[in-house]
Amino acid sequence: MTKPFLHFVRLGLGAALVLVLSGAAFAQAQQPWRHGILAAKDDSGFLFMAANRGFAEREGIKLELLQVKDDQVGLKALLAGELESYEGGVQGAIVAAARGADVKIIGCHWLVVPHGIFVRAGINSIEDLRGKNIAVSAPGTFPEMLARATLAKYNIPADAVKFASVGSDRDRFAALAGGVVDAAVVSNEVQPMAEAKGIRLLVAGAEAVPQFVRICQFSTSKVLSERRDDAVRYLTAEMKALHYALSHRDDTIALTREITGEKPDDPRPAFVYDNAVKTNAIDPTLPIPMERLAWMQDQLVEAGKLPRAGDLSKAVDPSIRAVALAAIERGH
């Protein structure tokens, strides 16, 4: 074989190798980041901002949102490898991590609970809930835990009421309005229409249990190791999107209407937005409030969901947030 021919073969193999490596890099860059998110409602302008207003795309990540019915579904999908991350109530993740599951809290953005216990006419105090049916979601989810913690604060044992597992916020409100249940844990998005249906807020969760954290972000150590750069890009996009949403009322409310299909005269998107801003409910830096998470773990122990409190640091990975926040502070 002549030297010129060997040189040609080497060049050809080198070019092919470059193409293969380039193709692999391109495929990796195009690999979607699948994120689980609770079914869309009147806070959608905040929660869908990163995906629907180009923030993720500008960070170089293809963000795909999968709406899930509740926290349990999101957690199961994450552990099954069907998602790279999900956001929701923290209680399921704490329990799963304590049992050895690979789940990591990587940041929390909605720190003030917008939910409360709403009731029908005739129920005028927490004491009046004894013997009544309260609509929550599945056992161990955020609505049930909020109801239990609120009752405990007022010295009412959980077995003094009857918990009914009823789907989403809107499902629970419909059950309450239809007289199927006596009370329901529902987001404050229903307040603009509650009075007309003979329903009122009995106790706000933010007042009864101010330590409660509403929404955190979760991933797994496997994902954070294999796709660390993408994880940083994802959290960076979320931080920038939330910061934008908090300072752009009209666009955030408009996005909520796009996602939910609600009409311009529906007061709920504006009510939820204004309440979130007024109460400083959202922190775009995605902190990890360990003291409040420890309090929530204690509630899980009291409710019998955990045998004892464990080392929460094993359920947390603050490193991704730290890198994303540093990049933003540098003006990235």
For the segment 166-187, the average pLDDT, to the nearest whole number, is 94
* pLDDT, tens digit, 9 for 90 and up, residues 55-90: 999 999 999 999 998 888 999 999 999 999 999 999
Domains of the chain: 27-112+212-329 (3.40.190.10), 115-208 (3.40.190.10)
Q: What is the pLDDT of residue 215?
A: 95
Q: What is the pLDDT of residue 9?
A: 36
Write down the mean pLDDT value for the chain. Answer: 90
* pLDDT, tens digit, 9 for 90 and up, residues 232-261: 999 999 999 999 999 999 999 999 999 999
Q: What is the pLDDT of residue 139?
A: 84
Q: What is the pLDDT of residue 332?
A: 67
Residue 18 has pLDDT above 90, yes or no: no
- Joined together, the tokens standing for residue 4 give 């010129």
